[in-house]
Structures are given as C-alpha cells and as structure tokens.
Structure 1
Amino acid sequence: MSQDQTITIDNVDYPLSSLTENAKMLLSNLQFSDNEITRLSNLLAVVKTARGTYAQALKSELLQSPKP
C-alpha cells in the first residue's frame, strides 16, 4: 500500500494528488524560491569570506609598504 505524499501548510496536511495545477505550480515556485535563498545565502558566505581575506591581505601589504 503506497501512501500519498503531502504538503503541510499552516498545520494542515494536503495530499499532493489533490492539488490543482495552479497550486502545484505555486508549490514549485515556492520550492524554487527556497532553493534560491539557500544558494544565495551560501554565495554570500563565500563572498564575505573572500572579502575578509582581501581586507587582511591589504592590511598586510600596507604594513610592509613604506609609510607616506
């Protein structure tokens, strides 16, 4: 016996098979948006790390340079 997959919205379970085509499209867009938020959050973490590394390298470079 197979169990129908469900989606829970506001503590109410909805069988995926009962969703309208529009609801399925909206769910797909919601999942895409969640995935993009995760991807962009990861990218932001990488860029922040790179920025910190560049700032540290600049400080090091300035300390080795003759003072004006």
Structure 2
Amino acid sequence: MTDQPQVATEQNQASQSITIDGVEYQLSDLSEEARAQVVNLRVTDQEIAKVKQQLAIYQTARAAYARSLSEKLPSKQAH
C-alpha cells in the first residue's frame, strides 16, 4: 500500500463507487466519515488541478518574458 491512496471514482444513475488502491467500494456502503473523506479528496484533487493549470500559465508567461528580455539585451560575442 502506498502513502497516498490512488483514488478513482465512477458514477452512474444506479450507484456510485470509488476505487482505492485497486479495490472498489460502493459509496453507499461507506461510513459517513469515510464519505466525508472522499469529498475532501475530490475537492483537494480539483484544487491541485487548478494550481497545476495556474502553474502552466505562469511558466508560459515566464518563458515569454525571458524570450522578450533576451531579444532586448545587447548582443555580446562569445569568448
């Protein structure tokens, strides 16, 4: 077992399930506390995805700024 469980969820009209470390569980079979932790994991995963998107935007902007700066620097001969 890993330190951080691998979680995947599947939804359909009849039931919801979650797969943790390769084992599928019906959400209806979990305790209220366990379902609350599933919600926490989902929210956290969504926030991580947002942060990753923001990071990609910032990295793209940084590369553009660096390229622009490079174009504006006086040229120097390599020694």
Partner Cα separation in structure 2 for residue 17 and residue 43 of structure 1? 35
Instruction: Kindly provide the CA deviation profile for residues 14-45 of structure 1, in whole angstroms up to 9, marking residues without a partner as x.
Output: 11111111111100111111111111111111
Q: Which amino acid aligns with 1:60?
A: E
Map 1:16-35; keep pairs closer than 5 Å. Answer: 16-35=27-46
Q: CA shift at 1:59, angstroms?
A: 1.5
Higher percent of residues as helix: 1
TM-score (normalised: structure 1)? 0.78
Q: 2:63 aligns with which of 31, 44, 52?
A: 52
Distance 2:21 2:69 in 1: 50
TM-score by length of 2: 0.69
Q: Which has the higher strand share?
A: 2
Ranges in structure 2 where 5+ consecutive residues have no aligned partner = 1-12
2:47 matches 1:36:
yes
Which entry has the higher C-alpha Rg, 1 or 2? Answer: 1
Question: Once superposed, which parts of structure 1, at least 4 consecutive aligned residues long, lie more than 4 Å away?
Answer: none
| Counterpart for residue 63 of structure 1 | 74
